[in-house]
Amino acid sequence: MNTVLKAWGFPFAIGLILALFVYVLRGQYDLFGLSDAFLFPGMFMVGIILLRMMSRTGVYDVAGYGVASFRDAFRRDGKKVYDSMLDYRDKQTSLRKNKPLMFLPTLMIGLGFIAIAIILAEIALT
């Protein structure tokens, strides 16, 4: 129950808070404003999930290795954490395999917010 609450409740609460924030700051208190308020958190959540999916495939491993190597240059003992890019990639791949995938709840909630935004925009246009 606790995992389900974290997986579905947390993204939903963040989305509603963002929607309320956009709705209040936008100042357009009609269906178009409400549509925009739901569209922003939906796009934000879907974008974050797409970035996480890309990260999961190892797209950012080169940049991560560059940051780790830069950090190694400032170590007092002069010891390197990773000997090569291959060592870094192997370590990151093994870490990724041990982490569970939790993309679906946030993706579904984000797509739901986008669907609500489209429905509200269609209602406002009629």
Round the average pLDDT of the chain to a whole number and report it.
Answer: 89
- Quick one: tokens of 65? 């290795």
> How many domains is the chain built from?
1
pLDDT of residue 17: 95
Determine the structural domain holding residue 27 and report its residue range.
2-125
Closest CA to 19 of 121, 119, 114: 114
Q: What is the mean pLDDT of residues 59-77?
A: 85
Question: Could you identify the residue written with the tokens 């990773």?
Answer: 82
Q: Is the pLDDT of residue 22 over 80?
A: yes
- pLDDT score, position 1: 63
pLDDT band at 33, cuts 50/70/90? very high
pLDDT above 70 (res 18): yes
pTM for the model: 0.78
Residue 36's pLDDT is: 92
